[in-house]
Amino acid sequence: MGNIKYILGSFGDPDEMMHGIEKLQENNIKIHDVYTPMPIHGIEAKLGVKRSRLDIAAFFFGITGTITMLSFVYYAAAVDWPINIGGKPHFALPDFIPITFELTILFCAFGLVGSYYASSHMFPGRAPRVMDLRATDDRFVIAIDAAQNPEHSKIDNLLKEAGALEIKYNERKYVSYE
């Protein structure tokens, strides 16, 4: 028993898994994380996961793009080398709206996806920290820290009652480090 790091309840159905989370929470058992092959709506509220602030970040990245492009075009077209093009003003704002818009989108998209990868610790070649290989296929897996929650047989029963198809006692934290 001493070597067990995580207890995994593997469910075949998302509704049963949600039921399992409720059961565990009723019994004051702390859930480490949940791994699913698809997004489960409503699970954040249940686990008390805070709302993502990526939208706010996206807004500021976008605004940065707008300001960057407008000030750059102002510098290039009106300060650094003003050219008379068809008698238009040097800083012909309507002409610069399309490119300003494109840069806004570009900065917003790259900033947003970059912050997403950074905040979720994702980058090319990162070793996947997977606890159950079927969690990306057809299983919905609840992971419970074995050291923090010593009543293993109780957890086992609760998960089985909720409909877990399989219960695993992982002695290694992640199974995917080979």
Partner 1 sequence: MSGHKESILREPLITGNDITFAKITDDILSPVENKPNKAWWIGFIVSALGACLWLFAVSYTFWNGIGSWGLNKTVGWAWDITGFVWWVGIGHAGTLISAVLLLFRQNWRNSINRSAEAMTIFAVICAATYVVSHMGRPWLAYWVLPLPNQFGSLWVNFNSPLVWDMFAISTYFSVSLLFWYTGLLPDIATIRDRAVGFRRRIYSVLSFGWTGNVKTWQRFEAVSLILAGIATPLVLSVHTIVSMDFATSVIPGWHTTIFPPYFVAGAIFSGFAMVQTLLLITRKVLGLENYITMFHIESMNKIILVTGSIVGVAYLTEFFIAYYSQVEYEQYTFMTRFTGPYWWAACMMYGCNILMTQLMWFKKVRTNIPLSWVLSIIVNIGMWFERFVIIVISLHRDYLPSSWAMFYPTWVDVAVFVGSIGLFFTLFLLFLRVMPSIAMAEVKLLLKTASEQSKMEQIKEGHVSKEYVAEYVDSLEKFDSVKQEQYAKL
Contacts of 19 (CB under 8 A, 6+ apart): 162, 163
- Of the residues 60, 63, 122, 154, which one makes contact with partner 1 according to CB under 8 A: 122
Q: Is 87 in the site for partner 1 (CB under 8 A)?
A: no
Give dist(CA 28, CA 95) in Å, integer. Answer: 62
- Of the residues 15, 22, 151, 171, which one makes contact with partner 1 according to CB under 8 A: 15
- Of the residues 1, 3, 28, 83, which one makes contact with partner 1 according to CB under 8 A: 83
Contacts of 49 (CB under 8 A, 6+ apart): 43
Least distance CB 124 / partner 1 (angstroms) = 6
Q: Is 172 in the site for partner 1 (CB under 8 A)?
A: no
Within positions 141 to 170, which residues make up the interface with partner 1, using CB under 8 A?
A: none
- Of the residues 60, 63, 71, 133, which one makes contact with partner 1 according to CB under 8 A: 133
Give dist(CA 53, CA 163) in Å, integer. Answer: 34
Q: Is 140 helix (H, G, I), strand (E, B) or coil?
A: strand
